[in-house]
Structure 1
Amino acid sequence: MRTTQIRQQLHDYIDSAEDKKLKAIYTLLEDDISEGYQFSEDQKKELDRRYDDYMNGIGKTHTWEETVAMARQALADRKIHK
């Protein structure tokens, strides 16, 4: 089963589950839910470096249209090399 299917089934189940079952699911996942995602120190340093580069006019940025065009080109290149 694909992740998207699992996610949809879980959403559907949670939307209609009894309170007792919801509390049990939450208890199982409580630590993961409350912690959320945390960046590592290396990731934070890299984000800070990129932000500083951007603020100093060094970092390269792209418009949404440029980003979409680059993604489409990367997909096209990938299909060619298969």
Structure 2
Amino acid sequence: MTTEVIRERLYDYIRVADDKKIEAIYTLLEDQIIPGHHWSEDEEFVAELDERVRRYEAGIDPAFSIEEAKSLLNEMKKEYQKSLKK
């Protein structure tokens, strides 16, 4: 039986199981269940993002578009490959 099939069977079972069985399953797995992290609720993280934006907008820190970053990486890759041929 594949993991996908097992997962579907567990989903189906949990949907119809009585409260006692759900509580027992949860108790068994509780230590392994990690609550989701919502970055927008993390004040320290949001403050860091705000500071980075402020520094970028003030011209203190540079930023690169995806295209610029890809181009720079391709150039670095070519230089690296040249150095291997020497």
Q: TM-score, normalised by structure 2?
A: 0.42
The higher radius of gyration belongs to 2
Higher RCO (C-alpha 8 Å, min separation 6): 1
